[in-house]
Amino acid sequence: MDVFTCMHRKEGFMNIIVAVDSNWAIGCRNQLLVRIPNDHKHFREETTGKVVVLGRKTLETFPQGLPLKNRTNIILSSNPRYQVKDALVVHSVPELMEELRQYEDEDIYIIGGESVYRQLLPYCNVAHVTKIDHAYQADTYFPNLDKDEGWRITAESDELTYFDIPYSFVRYERKKCLDI
């Protein structure tokens, strides 16, 4: 990260929340790799009453393709004619950033999918990652934060198990500019 980026990055800006397998995969054929009830509960607890930012394909995976209840849903779509009932649609990252100015930074959660994660990860300082200790067949991935020197683990749950699948909740935080 260069000095210019450090001086102009808004500290404390946005969260990302994601479940990844042991290869940092997040999905296959527009579906989650596995559904772990406790992960869904964790997601609800983190995002209820908050702002969620997602792409069109992620929205289409929700029940009936509807926005999440009890959250402000903002859909990032390059299609200028795309509209969704009970959600705000923006068409570019600059338009999204302008819209997000009205919300508290800590109340904003980026929830996927792959393209949205990659576009918005540079604007996030906290990542809530459910790490699943299993490799699935996948076609979409999240950047591996363990290999990114700009991030560090600041909290980690004990290992949990869903049937025979071990997983844990891990909080990553972007290193402050002076720490780099």
Q: Spell out a b/e string for 140-153, using b for 16 or more CB atoms within 10 Å of the CB, else e.
A: bbbbebeeeeebee
Task: Please count the structural domains in the chain.
Answer: 1
Distances (CA, A) of 126 to 34, 63, 73, 144, 147: 23, 27, 19, 14, 16
pTM of the model: 0.90
What is the domain extent for residue 122?
A: 3-179
pLDDT of res. 45: 97
- Output DSSP code: residue 170: E
Which domain CATH number covers 168? 3.40.430.10
User: Three-state SS for 3?
Assistant: helix
- Output DSSP code: residue 50: S
How many helices (H) does the chain have, and how many strands (E)? 5, 12
One digit per residue, the tens of pLDDT, for the chain of length 180 reads 443 344 334 445 899 999 999 999 999 999 999 999 999 999 999 999 999 999 999 999 998 999 999 999 999 999 999 999 999 999 999 999 999 999 998 999 999 999 999 999 999 999 999 999 999 999 999 999 999 999 999 999 999 999 999 999 999 999 975 454
